[in-house]
Amino acid sequence: MTTKALFAWSGGKDSALALYEVARQQNTEIVALLTTVTDGYDRISMHGVRRELLAAQAQALGYPLEEVSIPPQCTNEIYEQRMQQALEKYQQAGVTHTVFGDLFLEEVRAYREERLGRIGMQGIFPLWGRNTGDLARRFVQLGFRAIIVCVDTTMLNGTFAGREYDEDFLRDLPAEVDPCGENGEFHTFVYAGPIFRRTIPVERGEKVLRDERFYYCDLVCAAAG
């Protein structure tokens, strides 16, 4: 029996690797990618990636995209309300599960499962509990390509923003930084890999420090060919 599932898509490497794992299973059908986007900025929340690049990812992956719009400085109450509305729409259409790329943060998983349980849905966590160093190397070895789009400068030097997520990047990371950035040290944008029908052409743009903490590297669509 096939399980119908939404996929909580951030645009980053953990999402891509989790989708790769789920796509290899014959018993799970991904019906759409679910992503929060910040009103006014037209960017993926937290990651700061432009909506046009998010759309390009969905097209290259071959999945419908479901955007949940939230205001800047969104309260938890508004976030939960809008996310629940989106989930309920799919639950009423027969979708029973949501897939997440979470790795080891117990409180995050418990929160997701509690919220899903309220509307009769369940979570799938294909990468859960696996060694993050092994996952990072697997991502690179599988041929995925990603760029660091956001760095939390309280945990990692801002010069890492804009770098390619590759073996050199992993080698240069301080020992205290998780190689998958699971503690929020950094975020990525994936533009190529084994689950993509085509490479997304991107160029690095301006680098900006926001809120005196987060260092962003803007990405723009490059002219194909």
- Domain-wise residue ranges, the chain: 3-124, 145-221
The CATH code for residues 3-124 is: 3.40.50.620
* AA letter at 145: R
Q: Which residues contact 33 (CB under 8 A, 6 or more apart)?
A: 6, 7, 9, 57, 58, 61, 63, 64, 65, 66
Cα angle for residues 191, 197, 203 (degrees, 5° grid) = 25
Both tokens of 105, joined, read: 């943060």
- DSSP class of residue 119 equals T
Q: Which CATH superfamily is domain 145-221 in?
A: putative n-type atp pyrophosphatase, domain 2 (3.90.1490.10)
- Is the dihedral angle over the CA atoms 139, 199, 68, 147 positive or is it negative? positive
Please state the pTM of the whole predicted model.
0.93
DSSP string, 124-167: E-TTTT--HHHHHHHHHHTT-EEEEEEEETTTS-GGGTT-B-SH
Phi, psi dihedrals of residue 67, rounded to the nearest 5°: -95, 135
Both tokens of 35, joined, read: 């992503």
Return per-residue pLDDT of the chain as tens, 225 residues.
789 999 999 999 999 999 999 988 878 999 999 999 988 787 887 778 999 999 999 999 999 999 999 988 889 999 999 999 999 999 999 999 999 999 998 999 999 999 999 999 999 999 999 999 999 999 999 999 999 999 999 999 999 999 999 999 999 999 999 999 999 999 999 999 999 999 999 999 999 999 899 999 999 988 644
Q: Which residues contact 20 (CB under 8 A, 6 or more apart)?
A: 142, 144, 193, 194, 195
CA quadruple 126, 217, 191, 67: dihedral, nearest 10 = 60
Q: How far apart are CA 55 and CA 63, in angstroms?
A: 10
Q: What pLDDT does residue 225 have?
A: 42
Q: What pLDDT does residue 47 have?
A: 79
